[in-house]
Structure 1
């Protein structure tokens, strides 16, 4: 390559065709003040990725914040947190992060386009955001910049909201060994977005998990009314309102249950001691407010996808590479469908995610996973995937494994729902297929324990 051509590809802004590790740049998606976001594709699997590259000659603060975001996201694996695919540095020393590509728009753009959400839709969103924050808080990380612009909505029009939390650039570790723990943010320094900042952030005090709960209250207000609770002509005006003004009630601006007011007011307490103690307490009160005091009974259900790839004939280096590439594609597809990859073996993968509480949203989530799995097996069966590799996928629904890991005859007990031998193609259990039979061509599998069906195509 001639020096001028190389400069065009790898200059201050990466050009189309620039190769960054295993990702090939396709185009610039967003130019920010300290970094540029590119759409890229994996050279082997073709999977899309978001490539975030720091601009040349960054400040020390920007450089440390960028590296901290990569390390934080790498450790926080959750179906509602954007996944990191890799990170490193360019030849000129600029760091980059490769993340899963999210086809959607942030909640601020969503609200601007469609208007406020119903209380039940807002609950669906905050359930997902809350579960993501719980994972972060359990890892000792507070996000500190939760806002509508940092939550990406992936669902299409008419579907239940499905979201992912992004941008941990100002996340703060709560313990010395937590991802994001550093001396970058000192007491007395205010970081975050004024429209969502808790009073202690404005005062530059050390954050804790309740700092994110304040932002959840702000987000809840914005979701159901279409506007943030506090607005002003200047940053100082907004900060003064967060510090001194009582939060407005959402019922004064939108037709929502007055019980929702109490959730917002407590979440946005001026003193963190006045807020909910944790995410779970906030979500429980929000469920009661939205459902009129009726709480769902029984365990939380989850949908799981188990994939097993096998080689035909004698293993060779090239065929092993094809198997690895196929499993990478399966993992990427599972994450795009909202699943969290829990187990990755030499030839298998298990991914799962909790299902929404509302019946229609739960059915839509199962349909999304089944259609994603069907696309994978069709990719192999039509010859689009490299041979000689066979792929077998089973989709099942069962109670979500509990925190202690006890999962007797549940999703983590594979012999209870994965047929042996698994054969090839897509198999769905009755629990996974229920209510979706009209849209899929399926035939019963004889001898299966759970009433399994082999799914061959969509109708």
Structure 2
């Protein structure tokens, strides 16, 4: 066993190659820096390439599985799978090998960013067209895999990495082909597991996976449907208190309609429900057909649609710094958000995204300059009247209440009555808004006040 050099003062050196690799362990041409994720069969480390100095993701099998023929074959299959899949939206493999004790390892590109699950937790649901921009590269990656007879079998938000890309567009990468299944040219399953063994993640498993039946590319289409529903609504289509209950829902329960849970076009309901069909033959045949239908569902309807300027409001209510969120505070939080929803509706601002402690609402502005000024003044006056009511709901509860207005381009479509409503566009990219530095009250940037002489 290799050890670190003796520590100053004669203390006992720490082994580098135990159950987990310690910082400083050398694997091929890579030096381990830290553990980043502990999986059941393997551990993922952040390491440094000694030749280039670049960070790499190093996946090393746990020692207790190194004698398992099935585990070894699965790990080797992941290496071979990634080596075949040279695609801009699939994690890139750099090198693979074995430790001296027989444990296989796999070095991959290091993806600096966060997965979609963390992204959703931080910002809430995605506007429909932004969800499309995220799903397109995932579907393209899966299409490339399916063309080579490879089924991922574990499509979920945690396996999609999102990084800042050129021009502000996200760069999306599909990761973790650890349970991918190779198919023969006729797309019949070549199993590495015994018949009847369930492989996958319960929150996104297709019915055939739960039943241990053969899988094919349409199994990944089910996972894409789960992911699309989650992007649009901020929640999974099915949730339960136990794995058995969750599996029953995937097997038998009809999927919910996204439009019942979020302000999205009703045409998206049919897309999600076809992806989540219980029988593979009732789903889309491939990713290309799914994406064609998804784009069509997001095409603006006839009527007063297109692009215009819009006004958005982000309202946040959370415990003051250093305050515990006790029952009184949580009750106050519920009251103020309920009052805000009702008040913003009276102001004519439609609720777009909702979280545990925030609301994002928006309204289109008329293209005529005079009408736009009148509409902005109307919203400001309504907020001036609403704000004291909201403050009364949180008085003495240790809740910090603030709001920000923002003016930007918006994509609009007609609602059921034919009136324009905001559905997407820069206006809904709340992360790019100008903030009020945490001051209480409503922060109104200069562009919102442009042309208004009084408030």
Please confirm whether the aligned pair reaches a TM-score higher than 0.5, indicating the same fold: yes
- Structure 1 position 32, deviation (Å): 2.1
* 2:94 corresponds to 1:94: no
Residues 207/181 of structure 1: CA separation in 2 closer, same or farther (3 Å cut): closer
> Which among 71, 79, 89 is matched to residue 70 of structure 1?
79
- Structure 1 position 105, deviation (Å): 1.0
Residue aligning to 1:287: 295
Deviations 1:418-453 (A, max 9, x none): xxxxxxxxxxxxxxxxxxxxxxxxxxxxxxxxxxxx
Number of equivalenced pairs: 293
Contact 1:151 1:166 in 2 (8 A): yes
Say which SS state the counterpart of residue 10 (structure 1) adopts.
Answer: coil
* Counterparts of 1:26 and 1:83, CA distance in 2: 20
Residue aligning to 2:227: 219
Residue aligning to 1:15: 22
* 2:151 corresponds to 1:151: no
* Counterparts of 1:115 and 1:122, CA distance in 2: 12
Residue aligning to 1:252: 260
- Structure 1 position 62, deviation (Å): 2.7
* Counterparts of 1:132 and 1:55, CA distance in 2: 29
Contact 1:76 1:136 in 2 (8 A): yes
- Structure 1 position 71, deviation (Å): 1.2
Residue aligning to 2:58: 51
Contact 1:176 1:182 in 2 (8 A): no
Q: Which moved more, 1:152-161 or 1:284-293?
A: 152-161
* Counterparts of 2:273 and 2:2, CA distance in 1: 63
- Structure 1 position 2, deviation (Å): 7.3
Contact 2:2 2:16 in 1 (8 A): no
Say which SS state the counterpart of residue 164 (structure 1) adopts.
Answer: strand
Contact 2:79 2:96 in 1 (8 A): yes
Residues 181/98 of structure 1: CA separation in 2 closer, same or farther (3 Å cut): farther
Residues 39/2 of structure 1: CA separation in 2 closer, same or farther (3 Å cut): closer
Residues 87/259 of structure 1: CA separation in 2 closer, same or farther (3 Å cut): same
Contact 2:2 2:15 in 1 (8 A): no
* 2:282 corresponds to 1:274: yes
Residue aligning to 2:384: none
* Counterparts of 1:72 and 1:145, CA distance in 2: 14
* Counterparts of 1:72 and 1:128, CA distance in 2: 18
Residue aligning to 2:238: 230
Structure exhibiting the larger radius of gyration computed from Cα positions: 2
Residue aligning to 2:420: none
> Which among 174, 194, 212 is matched to residue 186 of structure 1?
194
Give the alignment of 1:260-339 within 5 angstroms: 260-292=268-300
Contact 1:16 1:26 in 2 (8 A): yes
Give the alignment of 1:103-122 within 5 angstroms: 103-122=112-131
Deviations 1:278-317 (A, max 9, x none): 11000011011122379xxxxxxxxxxxxxxxxxxxxxxx
- Structure 1 position 42, deviation (Å): 1.1
> Which among 33, 42, 56 is matched to residue 26 of structure 1?
33
* Counterparts of 1:187 and 1:35, CA distance in 2: 24
* Counterparts of 2:14 and 2:202, CA distance in 1: 40
TM-score normalised to structure 1 length:
0.61
Residues 123/185 of structure 1: CA separation in 2 closer, same or farther (3 Å cut): same
Say which SS state the counterpart of residue 241 (structure 2) adopts.
Answer: coil
* Counterparts of 1:214 and 1:262, CA distance in 2: 13
Residue aligning to 2:362: none
Residue aligning to 2:322: none
Give the alignment of 1:401-420 within 5 angstroms: none
Contact 1:129 1:165 in 2 (8 A): yes
> Which among 177, 183, 205 is matched to residue 168 of structure 1?
177
Residues 247/8 of structure 1: CA separation in 2 closer, same or farther (3 Å cut): same
Residue aligning to 2:313: none
* Counterparts of 2:183 and 2:218, CA distance in 1: 12
Contact 2:183 2:190 in 1 (8 A): no
Residue aligning to 1:129: 138
Name stretches of at least 5 consecutive residues in structure 1 with no aligned partner: 295-459
* 2:213 corresponds to 1:205: yes
TM-score normalised to structure 2 length:
0.61
Name stretches of at least 5 consecutive residues in structure 2 with no aligned partner: 6-12, 303-455
* Counterparts of 1:142 and 1:3, CA distance in 2: 41
Residues 212/267 of structure 1: CA separation in 2 closer, same or farther (3 Å cut): same
Residues 203/181 of structure 1: CA separation in 2 closer, same or farther (3 Å cut): closer
Give the alignment of 1:314-393 within 5 angstroms: none
RMSD: 2.3
Say which SS state the counterpart of residue 169 (structure 1) adopts.
Answer: coil
* 2:147 corresponds to 1:138: yes
